[in-house]
Structure 1
Amino acid sequence: MIQVYYTSKHTDGIEYIRETLTDQYQLNVRPVHVGNDEDMLIDQCRDADVVICDFEPFTKRVLEALPKLKLLQFTGVGFNEVDLEAATNLGIAVCNTPQYCKNEVADHAVALMLAINRRLLMFHKMIQEEETWSAVADPSMKPMRELTVGLAGFGNIPKEVAKRLQAFGTRVITFDPYVPEEVSRSFDVEKVELDEFLRQADYISCHLPVTPDTVSFFRKEIFDQCKDGVVFINTSRGAVVNEADLADALDRGKVSYAGLDVLNDEHPDLHTHVLAHRENVIITPHAAFYSASARKNGRIEAAQSIMSYMEGRYAQAPVRNGVRGRK
């Protein structure tokens, strides 16, 4: 029987994994959440053929201590918690769930844009706190149809964002050196080089994965090349933004507003965080992924990915490091 170990602290929806996996798979749910404790992680996964994970530290040391492991199956789109090079060298496949929550995150990104564009927080504060009634309190407001939104990255989620924005008549451009121009063109999105992207975008919506090349990608040097008053949205990963540089850009007015679903720290100190308590920043608690149906569908997608890979149907498994079976 194939031993599948579930290490995530988020056990809601696990029944969908049980229902999807066939009888040749035994699902073992972690008895204690390991957090960042590598020794506990090794101890809990020692007999695993497959591990279902999300934020656990699958470092080279951990992977080397799991000789039976054949597949790491992430429950989300991101998989930056694994040492991908070590996994590849050890013959351990890494899969994610690329369809998981793509519509929820796209909705959330556009909701942040609309809340900022229509000055919802400003009007709410005027009425609730200042008891002021004025529809023209901010004469700088522009309709969405007059804006250019730049999508940094053009994977599954930003493709959905583009569809939603185009319904408003918004011009959409993208910067993604890894996506062919014909792909963006098929979505009526113009692919441009980085300098043009920064120069043209009124709003920037970040959808970059975390890689060595993208950590702190959005930093002072990048913000300085943007339009004055650009709006910055991030629903991808906090690590792709230098938060001190974003705060500085907000202080200088280079960035007029920000809408952030992610911060560098998954458990930030909101009393002292440099981006908290600002009237021109909306922060949500890494909630863009969530809906009841997304959780269910993501768990089913993960289980189906495991069965596809372990049964040799590699074309149906979203393998991210090219491994086709551990030697």
Structure 2
Amino acid sequence: MSFKVLLLDGVDPVCANIFKERGIQADQPIKLSPEELNSQISNYDGMVVRSATTVTPELLEKATNMKVIGRAGVGVDNIDIKAATTKGILVMNTPDGNTISTAEHTCGMIIALARNIPTSVATVKNGGWDRKKYMGSEVFGKKLGIVGLGKIGSEVAKRMQSFGMEVFAYDPFTTKEHASDMNIELVDIDELLGNVDFLSVHTPLTEKTKGLVSLKNADKLKKGIRLVNCARGGIYEEADLPKLIDDGIVGGVALDVYSQEPPNEELYKVLEHPGIICTPHLGASTEE
């Protein structure tokens, strides 16, 4: 009996071709409901997911033949690692797969925030013309704070240094040598929040990173700081963002990830705020 793999979340068809070239049966349904997934998962030895599918202990209980789960991306927080390990299922990710694409998207978000690109585009398309209203700021000479100086964070730093930004970082897991080699100053999190003009996060969502920026710690933020999140939804307290902007504490927000995807009605109302730029989790969505 051949090894069977289930490909979910719109994984690129090239993935199926790679498996088939190696004699592995790869099934790629257009879409499975949770009920359909529960009923079919026992037929497969492996599966590949992106971020849309949540691999829960309940699902794994039904995956009686599962041997390996591949995450087409970096983060594995949508997979219950403990439950998988208990059942002897290997969980693998692709840490370099979306490094460049996510870093580039982050840099685009920074520039879009600095120059009010999305709102000014919408104005012109609607027949408006107001150059004064959309006065932006240069990123040259500004301070960029990065939380998480891993692969993606480091690539963002290199690119924005080319724009003339001064980069600071908080990462308890990196070394001073790594930061020094990149001409980046490591600081503690409170100093970072209170010192930088732009903040970009590149960490998993954990108890320590959840709600990293919220109304509760607004007094720690540099006035007018601009926030970017292309990592994991929930690192910024989404419900607090409109008030932080309206109060002048935060100068603008750019989000590519959300605590719930797609957003629910309540979250969509948050995203309607003109000071928030939002894209539908496109960090890894490039042809490459």
For Structure 1 versus Structure 2, the TM-score category normalised by the shorter chain is 0.7 to 0.9
Which residue of the partner structure matches residue 147 of structure 2? 152
Which residue of the partner structure matches residue 48 of structure 2? 52
Secondary structure class of the residue paired with 2:58: helix
* Aligned amino acid, residue 131 of structure 1: W
Q: Is the contact between residue 34 and residue 56 of structure 1 (CA under 8 Å) also seen in structure 2? A: no
Matched, 1:41 2:37: yes
Overall identity of the aligned pairs, in % = 26
Secondary structure class of the residue paired with 1:107: helix
What displacement does 1:182 show?
2.4
1:277-296 correspondence runs (5 A): 277-293=272-288
- The alignment's C-alpha RMSD in Å is 2.6
Q: After alignment, is 168-177 or 211-220 more displaced? A: 211-220
Which residue of the partner structure matches residue 227 of structure 2? 232
Distance 1:253-1:2 versus aligned 2 partners, 3 A rule: farther
- 1:255 and 1:20 map into 2 onto residues whose CA distance is 47
* Aligned amino acid, residue 61 of structure 2: E
Which residue of the partner structure matches residue 76 of structure 2? 79
Q: Is the contact between residue 153 and residue 175 of structure 1 (CA under 8 Å) also seen in structure 2? A: yes
Which residue of the partner structure matches residue 29 of structure 1? 28
- 2:209 and 2:267 map into 1 onto residues whose CA distance is 26
Distance 1:154-1:17 versus aligned 2 partners, 3 A rule: farther
1:127-142 correspondence runs (5 A): 129-134=127-132, 138=135, 141-142=136-137
What displacement does 1:271 show?
8.9
Q: Deviations over 1:127-180 (max 9, x none)?
A: 56443455x964xx5432221101111222111111110101111111122223
Q: 1:194 aligns with which of 189, 195, 201?
A: 189
Bigger relative contact order (CA 8 A; separation at least 6) = 1
Structure 2 residue ranges without an equivalent (≥5) = none
Q: Is the contact between residue 116 and residue 134 of structure 2 (CA under 8 Å) also seen in structure 1? A: no
- 2:60 and 2:121 map into 1 onto residues whose CA distance is 50
Matched, 1:69 2:73: no
Secondary structure class of the residue paired with 2:18: helix
- 2:262 and 2:120 map into 1 onto residues whose CA distance is 29
- 2:97 and 2:258 map into 1 onto residues whose CA distance is 20
Distance 1:197-1:217 versus aligned 2 partners, 3 A rule: same
1:1-327 correspondence runs (5 A): 3-11=3-11, 13-19=12-18, 22-30=21-29, 33-35=31-33, 37=34, 39-54=35-50, 55-121=52-118, 123-124=120-121, 129-134=127-132, 138=135, 141-268=136-263, 273-293=268-288
- 2:199 and 2:41 map into 1 onto residues whose CA distance is 41
Q: Is the contact between residue 5 and residue 45 of structure 1 (CA under 8 Å) also seen in structure 2? A: no
* Aligned amino acid, residue 129 of structure 2: E
Q: Deviations over 1:242-289 (max 9, x none)?
A: 211222211211101111112222122579723333332211122232
* Aligned amino acid, residue 240 of structure 2: D
What displacement does 1:234 show?
1.0
Secondary structure class of the residue paired with 1:56: coil
What displacement does 1:28 show?
2.7
Distance 1:26-1:200 versus aligned 2 partners, 3 A rule: same
- 1:40 and 1:222 map into 2 onto residues whose CA distance is 43
- 1:124 and 1:57 map into 2 onto residues whose CA distance is 36
Which residue of the partner structure matches residue 316 of structure 1? none
Q: Is the contact between residue 7 and residue 56 of structure 1 (CA under 8 Å) also seen in structure 2? A: no
Q: How many residues align?
A: 286
- 2:144 and 2:236 map into 1 onto residues whose CA distance is 18
Q: Is the contact between residue 230 and residue 256 of structure 1 (CA under 8 Å) also seen in structure 2? A: yes
Q: Is the contact between residue 247 and residue 274 of structure 1 (CA under 8 Å) also seen in structure 2? A: no
* Aligned amino acid, residue 114 of structure 1: I
- 1:248 and 1:111 map into 2 onto residues whose CA distance is 24
Distance 1:67-1:186 versus aligned 2 partners, 3 A rule: farther
Distance 1:261-1:272 versus aligned 2 partners, 3 A rule: closer
Distance 1:99-1:280 versus aligned 2 partners, 3 A rule: same
What displacement does 1:41 show?
2.6
* Aligned amino acid, residue 50 of structure 1: G
- 1:121 and 1:15 map into 2 onto residues whose CA distance is 33
Q: Is the contact between residue 7 and residue 34 of structure 1 (CA under 8 Å) also seen in structure 2? A: no
- 2:134 and 2:240 map into 1 onto residues whose CA distance is 29
Secondary structure class of the residue paired with 1:205: strand
